[in-house]
Chain A
């Protein structure tokens, strides 16, 4: 079983739609959680951190459920520019220090 699992998609949605992505992680010792966005042939960029209390940034809302080891990302009023791959990322402490483990990514395509 992969340490961080995501539905690869693609999610094809019209502009203005609301879309939700889910992610599960297997390591209960994981400490912090993030959503990254990666455009084609570019490096990942931090979208937002994820907290149990929920985190909202404009049209984006992220939520963590530690009991279920489940992370979500909700995008409201989708824009064409939201088309990208969204990576669920988990930070786990190891002997060598903290490390990020990436999910396989969920591809979003927003169409006019």
Chain B
């Protein structure tokens, strides 16, 4: 079946640095990718929706200049957390949907970000 791979699984970075998280669809073309954030004991919150070749659509309250999303190809989307701060520490998960997957949305394994 379709697989979405996310990398890295864990990352620790210093405050003020930037971190890039990759989301790849391995056996289908992901026309749409979604980025979520989940704080401990809370639900997944959608950050942004990106369609291949277009600018991402950000949810209200999500700073687009801080969370840079690139979806330049049908198999790769990246989320860059710029100038990370401890309050950005969270679980970031991507999901993807393609024309061949119908309405099914597949999730990546998630990335744990800790900013120290």
User: Which A residues contact B (CB, under 8 angstroms)?
Assistant: 32, 41-46, 87, 91, 96-105
Contact = CB atoms under 8 A, between A and B. Distances in A.
Nearest to A45: B107
B34 interface: yes
Question: By DSSP majority rule, is chain B's interface helix, strand, loop, or mixed?
Answer: strand
A46 B106 CA distance: 9
Interface string B85-98: 00000010101010
Contacts of B57: 96
B32 interface: yes
A67 B68 CA distance: 40
Most buried by A among B44, B45, B105: B44
A105 B109 CA distance: 18
Contacts, number: 43
Contacts of A101: 46
B32 A43 contact: no
A93 to B, nearest CB: 11
A91 B43 contact: no
B44 A102 contact: yes
B51 A104 contact: no
Contacts of A104: 42-43
29 contacts: A32-B103, A41-B91, A41-B110, A43-B107, A43-B109, A43-B110, A44-B93, A44-B107, A46-B104, A87-B43, A87-B44, A91-B103, A96-B49, A96-B51, A96-B57, A97-B32, A97-B49, A97-B51, A98-B103, A99-B46, A100-B34, A101-B46, A102-B36, A102-B43, A102-B45, A103-B43, A104-B42, A104-B43, A105-B43
